[in-house]
Structures are given as C-alpha cells and as structure tokens.
Structure 1
C-alpha cells in the first residue's frame, strides 16, 4: 500500500521494491495507491489489515513522525506499526518554477522579502514534511510565503511546471527528473548530493536547514517477527547491492541499509526531530 498518488517518490520506490522483492520471496508483490489526507487513508487501512505479512505499507516519516504532532485527532497509532525494512533516505532541495528569477537560495530569499505579495510554495499535503521544511526556511530567513497544498508530489510538480506556484521543497530526484525545467537552488542536506554536485547545500548558503526523509516498509500491528524478518532480509539484500545506486542516485536518494532494530532506531530519532520542528513552527490541524 502506498499512501500517495502514482508518480511521486514513494510510489517510484514502492514499485522498485515490488519488482526486486517478488523473485526473492517467491510470490507477486502488488502496489496499490491509496492517497488521501496526508497518508491517513492508507495508514488507517493497513492498521486494520490482517497481520499475516500480506498487507504492508511503503511510507515515509510524514505518516509516522509528523502526523502525530500536527493532527489533533489521528485515526491510527503510528507507534503500533511494525518496522519491517528501511529502504532509502530522500534528499530534499529548494526548487523554483521555470520563470522564477533566482539563481540560488539567497537570491530566492531576497526576492521573497522584496515581493509585494507573498511567494507561493507547493507541498504534497498540509502539514507534510514538504511544508514543514519550507516553513522552517521561511521562519529562519524571515520572508512571507503562501502555502498551496496538493494531494501528492506529482500534482504539485505539475503545478510548478505550469507556473502556477513559485517554489517547493521536494526530493532532489523529482526535480532532476524534470529535465532542467525546474531550477534547484539548494540541497537541504549536510553534504552535496552526488547526482547534482554543482548545487550547493542550503547550509553553504547560510541557512541552517538539513533533513533527509526516511522511507521504508511497515507492517500492521501484530505482524509476527518471522514474517517481518523474512521480508527485511530480502529487502536488505537488494538495497545494499552495488547496482542499487543506479536506481537511488537518479531519484535523489541514498540507500538506507539497516536491520529491523536499526530501522526502528531511525524512526525514533526522526520522530524527535520532526516533533521539535512541528511544535516550534506551530503547525497544527483540527482534523
């Protein structure tokens, strides 16, 4: 199960995992997209699925480490899901539409401050990591901006290509996939991304913003350890393979090789990180 529409980063990774996992476990792995409410629809469905290893969710920190701190009422329990397999970490970047006149992040901030009306920025959902990261940059740099949420990364990118929205904090691979039609102004990581080494980090440009987004497979509450271990071992096998870089790098990602215990530790660490960001920015929803 994928909590977002086809064409976004999570969907792309899920389809790659399904293709690689199928021969290793000897049964078909089918991807079903069930978008809605910033991932809540799919997570609620998987929470209620039989804990037999046949229903899993490919998700990100959005649904596990962000939603609990921005929604006052959440119809699923993130802590009850079983960590099965880490897959990757997405590298974010500040990206602008084709006609936006800025060559780097500093120029973007300068123009945003000088604009008579707020710049607009897209995200793949209200209170998503995409919004929280842009709100973090806005708060640090001190410019005004109007959030325009979409139901997924793919429709947000289409709006940017159509010049309907000015900017977005998105996975760098998603920007690279647009063939130069979107301009990458800075990478939100501690180091430059190998697939776009000419683009400086936001830290290099004077902005203290670095955050990668984990992506991995979770199981419903009560999933037996034997089933989780079997799938985890198979996923680790192809994620750590040298040829996996041919998939990860063009998609703006790095491999996240971790056993189940290490993946659980990553989730806990990111939970604290995103909680602090969401609470500091005051992002809260009534749903």
Structure 2
C-alpha cells in the first residue's frame, strides 16, 4: 500500500512537472517575437513617401527586434492589394502594412472590398501626416486663394480642376473645398500626380491640389503659383504661403497620412512593442529630417489614438464621397 502511494505521489509530481514545463515553454514561445524575419508590405511602388517610410522602419527595426525586416511593395487599386494581403496574413506580427489615407476612403469608394479597414486590422500607429498645396498655372489671374475663390464663384461651373484619379485624396480634398467655399468646378481625372502637374503648367486645368514635393520646383521656377497649403499650420518648406483656413475658408484641413497596421488578432504586446519601436525610430533626428524633406511631419500615435483617428477619417470622407458621387475607377 505504501509503495502504491509513493508511486502515486511520484506520478503526480511528474505530471505536475510536465504541465509546468509545458506552460513555461508555451509562455517562452509566446514571448519570442519575432521568431523569423518581419515583412513590411508597402501599398505603393518604390520611390514614393510610403515606400520611404516603410524602408526607414526596415532600416532601424532589426536592431530592436533582433530579426531582419524586409519591405515588399504591392501597389495597385489605391492600396487595396496590399491591404487585402496583410488582412489575410497570420496574426503574429510578422507581416505588417504601411499604407496611406486611402485606407480610410476605399470603403466608401469600392462597393465590394475583400477586407474591412477596421475589423480586419490591428492599428499600430499613425506614423506621419502631410499637408497638400493648392496650385494654379502661372498664367492664372488669381494670385491669392481669395482671388481664386472670387473668380470661381463668378465663373460658376466654367472652371476645371485636376486630380490623380477619381477617389484620390486630391479629388476628395477639392470636393470638400468646393462644399465649404461655395463654388463649382469640373473634375478632370488623370493617371497620377505627374500628369496633373504637366496639365496645370500647360494651363489645361485651372487648379489642383498637389503634394508639395511635386510642385515646389515649378513654383520656384515660376511655372506654377501656390495659393495656399491645406494643413492646420503653415508648411516650414514654404512659410510665406498661408493655409486655406487663413486665406478665407475657416475650418478647412486636408492632410495625407501614413500608418502602420497589423492583421486583426495580433497579440497586444506585439502591437505595443511595434508602436514603441516605431516611435523611437521616428524620433531620431536624421529620420525626422528625411521626412521633413518630403513635407511630412512625425505623428507616432498610440494604437488607441490611431484607432479613433481612423474611425473619424472613415466617417468624414464617407460624407464627402456620398455628396460628390465619387467612385473608384
């Protein structure tokens, strides 16, 4: 009997040791992030600002994570191809998405998305924000935004504006300006921002909202005129140019942004770790300098802040899309 009891106690101790060992092993595995190289999926081709931000993260993250970080560009469909890919990836933090403000507008522009911009993602951080500029040809009679708005109201719908395509930020931003400033203009979509700039310089369109890096060289050579910037504050690149709000349309603001997201279900500790490291990277002076050179400001929000911001962006642009009748091409 005594022998049986000893064997029984030994068996229990062995079983408990196995359970404890398994728990410790599972806990260690859960904490061992990352366990393989991390992929950052960029929603645009190489060379643009989104790609720049993704590669800045990939350059500095390995030192903190102890694993290689690679960037894969999956452009197309206003970011939908990259977003769908990441939405369907394992929720383990090894596949991440760097994308732009189209992530908030696509749900209103595309009737059938293969993913949901909120439900299928774990928000990590809004990384940057950037204002746009309102530009006119050098031959335009308008030298200020106030003069342009007076001209636009007088000409009624006999005015045109260009965009990089239906549903793009510069399209919806102009639709918002039309509503807030009380004028009309015909939308002329182009295939990208480059053709818009060329059409503007040639006087084929009357006005356009563009990213500063694409038009500042033309402003300096006198081929374009910038009337206003669309941020809450003046751009340090062109501090002499007023904001739209300063120039006569109070409350108007249009900012592009870039953000980092993971698949929904990614462990909170992994999301928090990624956010902390991204914030440290964006806080480096040399990184901030590279971003300022392309007119981008560092944001580095928390997951909670970015989640609230994304919800607000989706709601705001849903109203603009509905009123404008914009649809993805």
Q: Which residue of 1 aligns with 2:61?
A: 21
Question: Cα gap change, 1:212/1:117 in structure 2, threshold over 3 Å: closer, same or farther?
Answer: closer
Q: Which residue of 2 aligns with 1:39?
A: 79
Match status 1:195 vs 2:237: yes
**Gaps spanning 5+ residues in structure 1: where?**
none
Contact 2:167/2:328 (CA < 8 Å) preserved in 1?
A: no
**Gaps spanning 5+ residues in structure 2: where?**
1-40
How far residue 167 of structure 1 moved from its aligned partner, in angstroms, is: 3.2
Instruction: Give 1:1-287 correspondences, 5 Å limit.
Output: 1-63=41-103, 65-79=104-118, 80-97=120-137, 99-113=139-153, 118-153=158-193, 156-157=196-197, 160=200, 165-176=205-216, 180-181=220-221, 182-208=224-250, 209-279=252-322, 281-285=323-327
How far residue 272 of structure 1 moved from its aligned partner, in angstroms, is: 2.8
Contact 2:175/2:324 (CA < 8 Å) preserved in 1?
A: no
TM-score by length of 1: 0.84
Question: Cα gap change, 1:154/1:108 in structure 2, threshold over 3 Å: closer, same or farther?
Answer: same
3-state SS of 2:317 partner: helix
Question: Cα gap change, 1:285/1:107 in structure 2, threshold over 3 Å: closer, same or farther?
Answer: same
Greater mean alpha carbon deviation, residues 141-150 or residues 206-215? 141-150
3-state SS of 1:210 partner: coil
CA RMSD of aligned residues (A): 2.9
Contact 1:97/1:161 (CA < 8 Å) preserved in 2?
A: yes
**CA deviations over 1:18-69 (Å, ceiling 9, x no partner):** 3333443344433333222222222222222233323222112222x21222
Greater mean alpha carbon deviation, residues 233-242 or residues 221-230? 221-230
3-state SS of 2:247 partner: coil
How far residue 72 of structure 1 moved from its aligned partner, in angstroms, is: 2.4
Question: Cα gap change, 1:17/1:99 in structure 2, threshold over 3 Å: closer, same or farther?
Answer: farther
How far residue 147 of structure 1 moved from its aligned partner, in angstroms, is: 2.5
Question: Cα gap change, 1:123/1:133 in structure 2, threshold over 3 Å: closer, same or farther?
Answer: same
Larger Cα-atom Rg: 2
Question: Cα gap change, 1:219/1:37 in structure 2, threshold over 3 Å: closer, same or farther?
Answer: same
Question: Cα gap change, 1:124/1:35 in structure 2, threshold over 3 Å: closer, same or farther?
Answer: farther
Q: Distance in 2 between matches of 1:175 and 1:248?
A: 17
Contact 1:122/1:147 (CA < 8 Å) preserved in 2?
A: yes
**CA deviations over 1:73-111 (Å, ceiling 9, x no partner):** 222111121112221111122123455453222233344
